[in-house]
Chains A and B, each alone.
Chain A
Amino acid sequence: MITNILFGVGVAFFGFVLQTSIAGVNRKVVGRVQKRYGPKWYQEFLDIFKLLSKRSVTHGWIFDFGVIMALGGIIGTAMFMPITSDLVAFADFDNFFIFVYLIAVGMLGMAMSASGSGNPLASIGVMRALTTMLAYEVPFMIVVLTIIKLTGTSSVTGIAEFQQLASNNWFMIALPLGGIVGVMSLMGMIGKKPFETYIAPAEIASGPMVEYGGKQLGMLFIMHEITVFIEVSLFVHLFLGGAENVVLFIVKYFLVYTTLNIISSVYGRFKIDQVVLFFYKWPILMAISQAFVAIYLGWVI
């Protein structure tokens, strides 16, 4: 048990390092897209460690408690995440719903802490974050419903292994409509443009983050990186057949994240109600028709 937990902590740490590096690389990629040089690939690490080392202010115990709960919840969630089908801390217990709901503890902690700061901009940011969540989560869950129904398991490794069988395609291909929905939802999840309304730096002063500095902000940065790690790897496992080994996982992970970044770098920002309308128009229709076609008619490529 202890080894499993230590392994889980290792996964979380691996995720943090991986995502932070890839995020750094991506800042360079996006920089090139926008015809500038971009920072060094390890810039993100520098930012985080600088923040952690600084002395900052607090707005009361809930402000700190929320940050701890946020980071703790996310680390806890990441500990369940499989990297390959064999590299998983708690085999058989990597249930899809744990990722969806345990991650929410972290979100809730952060939202709580942000509201506890007493800054209305933070509350607006939280409101937008939750509204965005309502938008992207439902189409995504419907696609996952289809996947679970087809594979007969809600274990993430189980789903990945199902796709690795010779007779089956990756769900990205097997369920093309669902795959597209998955990509769009993933962009919403990791807050890429056009769905980055809740951060909206120039508009609501970074929203939930507005009051943070020093170690609290540093911890929230860590939390953010791990969150992205969870969401992107979830996508890799659900739609891209998981990974047989770590290298393959990193490659897939990098490709997904970079693609999303490149897509998002050419978009503007939706208004919050546009985000909701967008997701409740095409993605949900596509998700539902995909589910119907796959479950009731049995048409799976």
Chain B
Amino acid sequence: MSAILLIVVPLLAAFISILFKKASPYILLIVSFASVIVLGYIELEVITIGGFASPYGINLVFDQYSLIGLYIVNTLFFLVVAINCVKFKEMSTILLIALAGLNGLLLTGDLFNLFVFIEISGIAAYLITATNKNPLATFNYLVAGTVGSSLYLVGLIILYAMFGTLNMADMANEIAVSGVDASLVAFPFLLMFIGLGVEAKLLPFNSWVKGILASSNKLTGPIIASVYAATIGFVVGRLLTSVFVFSDTLGLVITIILLASIIAGEAMAFSSNKVREILLFSSIAQAGLVVLVFLQGFIGWGVFLVVANAAGKFILFTVTNHASDELGTDEVNDLKGLFVNNKIVGLAFTVASLSAIGLPVFLGFVVKMNILGDLFAEGNLFIPAVILITSVVEGIYFVRLLIKLWYKEHDLPVVQYDFIIKYVVVILAILIMVFGVYTAPIETEANDLDLISFVEGGNL
């Protein structure tokens, strides 16, 4: 089987689902489940599309890196779908397109093709977020997303003009071979970085996030904050570690922007009183951290940071958005005591947030410690200090939130979680705990990823 099926089948299914409106949710469910299963049967390879050899034709890179990304994204996507497919029937087609776009983003080895998939998945995202019933925010998202992808495109065009190639590996190769000064390519890279930054929720480019996630529902919350965020994390990771070459100054500027993004994200979350706002600002900070880690060149642990975030944010957003959908409010004070009668869900939520703040026996701890260790090993003391200080802030608002949600005596909010949500969040929470204790496989995997180099033809 070929990895291209992961893109083609959802696209095809999307068209079929238009024809069979009634069956569309089940098609969606089956296709998304199938893409998780199929991943186990595909061999790692580089797929050339249309018969043109790689620098000239478009290729898909199905290597270790994309495999992890695909597993995570497809699994989470399937879980989101499993929870929501009945309620959001009309979204089935669009979700299928989104799946195709996301898989494409993870697979593609071509910079222009990447742009195409950004657009596909972006358009799907705009439509999905329309279910928020907050058209203005969706419109803003659309504008922002378009501006971002245009900037990316502009940057790409400049690069193409300079090096005459669009293939990622080839581009990296060309830049290295031509020996061009890093400051010359800085401008296009900056443009592309900003373009991706819009999707990756980096600070000055992310004004859309608040509108979208603050009014998100059970579907949009997890899908934007978890699935999309994970995908874009993987994409940024691949570009930053393998393709882009940043001059020292630009690297420094971007590092500062990222640190500012982290600090501001945590501060904003700290000053929020609404559950979804807290989570969204926290995910802004996390996104900054992800990019920062990739920028420092730590592929392996960067990947697991993305994974840990995706799993955690999935639980957090699913739980809170279900509650706020039911109650019509997401003020923390209105949700007080939410978990008193929903202990199972509450435990999963607690595990996810404790993992997010990096407390031991949870996955987040392992990831955070290794990242900090790597940073220290590079002799970098400033970045770890910022990360640690911001995690204190992060911890405070999460703990505060947890305690409010767990402790209240009277007038408890009435929220029923159906069994699917319960199963899904509990399984994820258990996974977070299991890999927080049984760290050996993650560590091997992270080390393997660090060793690979993105040569032409992928990292097989």
Do chains A and B make direct contact within the complex (CB under 8 angstroms)? no
